[in-house]
Structure 1
Amino acid sequence: MTKVKLGILREGKMPVDKRVPLSPKKCLQVLQEFPNAQLVVQPSPHRCFKDQEYTDLGIPLREDLTNCDVLFGVKEVPVDQLIPHKTYFFFSHTIKKQPHNQKLLHAVLEKGITLIDYELITNDHGEREVAFGRWAGIVGAYNGLLTYGKKWNLFDLKPAHQCVDMMDMEEEFFKVKFLPNIKIAVTGGGRVAFGAIEVLQRMGLRQVTVAEYLNEEFAEPVFAQLRSSDYHAKPGSDTWDSQDFYHNPQLYQSTFSKFAKVTDLLMVCAYWNPAAPVLFTEEDMRDPDFKINTIADISCDVDGPVPSTKRASTIAEPAYDYNPWTQKEEPAYSSTKNITVMAVDNLPCELPRNASVDFGRQLIAHIMPALINGDTHGVLERATIAKNGVLTERYQYLHDYAMGTLEQK
């Protein structure tokens, strides 16, 4: 039986991402579960797992990966590092015609490459199988609580990126002995939201129903999970139709104001369609009844559903203040009258070891069987943007974008 030669890329995009598609133990698991697979790892001084952690388990390091059939990365591969006629797996960020990656897709076609995007790997119901969303939610919720604590001088937690792993981070939030009887709203129903809820539950915070959240007062901090149906309504309709909302979000209005009146800390974890209404407006934020003072925009849609998210923040400087009256950014924690925003857009990078192990688990479960044993369910076929340098039928709409002939608006 012909061996399938796999290579784990060194991340080349700047700033360097410390995550890996397969941790050392997951590499070993691949070799054990798929005997006709061979695997090498490109050395890296930056990744969260040291080179020696791979070699200690007998995983060979190799600088030159031209002998590999399939190459796995995390972020976009720099154009000058693409090896012609190979099959690549990575997050390409091209399917929405992102301008900054046009040259990347053009190079993929020019070099005869097969590109399979993790973001497009779905099951038969169209649900994503491989993602870092849970870790975005976990780190985002922790950062949100850290931000709230600093804003009100309640506690000062070690930043997530300074924690060795999730266990180390848990030791930090277990230090929180006092949290006032605030209300925390978590929007969304996907991996990101459940990651955030996981942290709140581990901290011992009580989850309440939406009705309780809106109508009752508590002697302890509580949180509620808000779904789209909780803060959207279609004029003239008394019933909620999820499919109609997802297909026609422009027909709906936001009813979030009722939550803004009782919420102290907002954790935004929901996917947002630009055609959908915003949660609230800048004018709403100046209303005396608007209570939210800290926002963890974990989804981080700049100029999206949360008007105070004027830019993505960084791991090094995760927070900034938004002044609702001047509509300008101000230094973080400069005034309690401001709304403090945490909007880091690469949150899983703060716990790279945990995020990488979890990602590798998904990769082995949902990608490796199709790659090594045959793609009988079309899992990889659906996620293939280009095959041997030609856009597949599903992604023909990217042709003008890839060729650089897309009309600029």
Structure 2
Amino acid sequence: MVHIWLRAEQRDNETRVGLTPKGAVELMAAGMRVSVEVSPTRVIPDAEYQQAGCTMVPSHSWPDAPKDAIIFGLKELPEDGTPLPHRHIMFGHAFKGQPAGLRLLQRFKAGGGTLLDLEYLTDDNGRRLAAFGYWAGYAGAAVALKCWAAQQHGGIAGPIGAYESSTHLLADLQSDLVATGSHRPDALIIGALGRVGSGVADLCTAMGVATTKWDMAETSSGGPFPEVLAHALFFNCVLARPGTPVFVPGDTGTQHRRLSVIADIACDPDSDFSPIKVYDQTTTWETPALRVHDTPALDVTAIDNLPSMLPLESSQDYAEQLLPVLASLSKPDASVWSRATAIYTQHIARL
């Protein structure tokens, strides 16, 4: 029997979940066992999982779970250096040479476990089967506009938080923009045809922000791309990988430009392949904007858990996409899990 152990997230400002009670019912009906850690912060209350028939277990008890349990969470594990003997389904951020990722892989190697990375659950054509991308783009565009609005008052964006719904977010953002006057910035989106770019475009449309939409065809020349400097806002929606062009060179701050806010929604600053070269660290909910140049102001926003700003909508959407993939865990030869295991094996062999 496949045993899925849904862990309670341990990262600040992370209330999302990848399996809803409704989804758990479907998995259990298919013969799986579902254990759910108690969590006071999860956006879906514990009582709903209990009513669905899940086995409730103590918070953060996954290290003591049966060795055949598959530990399922979204974001990082605590960096305590302990060996990891289980199979884990999560966003590991470990396969692009990231320092924290290498430490994580060492823990899996020491414990004999396996990282089944959510980013690498793909179909036969390499397309991800489930992604938070749309909501990352939607929330990321909102944060970028908050950064721009703060600049109009001579300041820098203050703390952000989670919203009950996208309707509440739009109302709050509209208030920020109205306070700046009738002027709206324009924006360039690179990666506009993907999930992330679609979320950016929809938020911008709702806020009256004119957008220029680029994708692979417009960036095939490899750069440089002076159009980035000609827009007030720039949204990077392209995952860092070998061959990705540089969209924002390191000297961008000193160039003649209209550009004032860079939203790196793909957010992989410590990867060698990052196309945004003016910064090297993520930003946070407490400090969403990093000022990389003063005159005129140039801010970068790069938050790596943006969908958590809309935790209920993003969780429901993602969980619905992922459910058929989780259901296929009962098939030992399911290609999606075979590919994910092979990717892990390839990277662990390099240690």
Q: Name the TM tier (shorter chain).
A: 0.7 to 0.9
Corresponding position: 1:39 with 2:34: yes
Corresponding position: 1:225 with 2:213: yes
| Pick aligned residue for 1:383 from 326, 330, 340 | 340
Match in the other structure for 2:20: 23
- What CA distance in whole angstroms lies between the structure 1 residues aligned with 2:158 and 2:97? 38
**TM-score of the pair, normalised by structure 2:** 0.83
Match in the other structure for 1:194: 198
Q: Secondary structure at 1:384's aligned position in 2?
A: helix
**Deviation (angstroms), 1:267:** 1.6
Question: 2:160·2:288 contact (CA, 8 Å) conserved in 1?
Answer: no
| Pick aligned residue for 2:235 from 249, 264, 267 | 267
C-alpha change, 1:104 and 1:279, in structure 2 (3 Å) is closer
Render the CA deviation track for 1:295-316: whole Å, top value 9, x for unaligned. Answer: 2222234374333334321111
- What CA distance in whole angstroms lies between the structure 2 residues aligned with 1:6 and 1:231? 42
Aligned residues with identical type, % of pairs:
26
- What CA distance in whole angstroms lies between the structure 2 residues aligned with 1:119 and 1:385? 14
Match in the other structure for 1:281: 249
- What CA distance in whole angstroms lies between the structure 1 residues aligned with 2:158 and 2:43? 19
Counterpart residue type for residue 300 of structure 1: C
C-alpha change, 1:305 and 1:8, in structure 2 (3 Å) is same
- What CA distance in whole angstroms lies between the structure 1 residues aligned with 2:253 and 2:158? 30
Match in the other structure for 1:61: 56
Match in the other structure for 2:349: 399
Question: 2:5·2:37 contact (CA, 8 Å) conserved in 1?
Answer: yes
Question: 2:253·2:292 contact (CA, 8 Å) conserved in 1?
Answer: no
- What CA distance in whole angstroms lies between the structure 2 residues aligned with 1:116 and 1:162? 28
Question: 1:158·1:172 contact (CA, 8 Å) conserved in 2?
Answer: no
Match in the other structure for 2:262: 295
Match in the other structure for 2:306: 347
- What CA distance in whole angstroms lies between the structure 1 residues aligned with 2:54 and 2:305? 28
- What CA distance in whole angstroms lies between the structure 2 residues aligned with 1:181 and 1:173? 12
Within a 5 Å distance, the mapping from 1:25-174 to structure 2 comes to 25-31=22-28, 34-63=29-58, 66-67=65-66, 69-78=69-78, 84=85, 86-153=86-153, 161-174=161-174
| Pick aligned residue for 1:180 from 176, 180, 183 | 183
**Deviation (angstroms), 1:110:** 3.7
- What CA distance in whole angstroms lies between the structure 1 residues aligned with 2:301 and 2:157? 15
Match in the other structure for 1:6: 4
Point out where structure 2 has 5 or more consecutive residues left out of the alignment. Answer: none
Q: Secondary structure at 2:291's aligned position in 1?
A: strand
Counterpart residue type for residue 182 of structure 1: P
Counterpart residue type for residue 267 of structure 2: C
Q: Secondary structure at 2:15's aligned position in 1?
A: coil
- What CA distance in whole angstroms lies between the structure 2 residues aligned with 1:48 and 1:135? 16
Question: 1:185·1:266 contact (CA, 8 Å) conserved in 2?
Answer: yes
Counterpart residue type for residue 271 of structure 1: L
C-alpha change, 1:283 and 1:5, in structure 2 (3 Å) is closer
Match in the other structure for 2:275: 305
Match in the other structure for 2:326: 367
Q: Secondary structure at 1:355's aligned position in 2?
A: helix
Counterpart residue type for residue 168 of structure 1: H
Question: 2:3·2:70 contact (CA, 8 Å) conserved in 1?
Answer: yes
Counterpart residue type for residue 106 of structure 2: H
Question: 2:14·2:305 contact (CA, 8 Å) conserved in 1?
Answer: no
CA RMSD of the aligned region, Å? 3.1
C-alpha change, 1:202 and 1:87, in structure 2 (3 Å) is same
Match in the other structure for 1:218: none
Point out where structure 1 has 5 or more consecutive residues left out of the alignment. Answer: 206-220, 234-251, 324-329, 402-409
C-alpha change, 1:384 and 1:19, in structure 2 (3 Å) is same
Question: 1:265·1:292 contact (CA, 8 Å) conserved in 2?
Answer: yes
Q: Secondary structure at 1:161's aligned position in 2?
A: coil
**TM-score of the pair, normalised by structure 1:** 0.72
- What CA distance in whole angstroms lies between the structure 2 residues aligned with 1:104 and 1:320? 27
- What CA distance in whole angstroms lies between the structure 2 residues aligned with 1:46 and 1:295? 31
Question: 2:13·2:308 contact (CA, 8 Å) conserved in 1?
Answer: no
Render the CA deviation track for 1:124-168: whole Å, top value 9, x for unaligned. Answer: 1011112222221111001111111121149x9996524223232
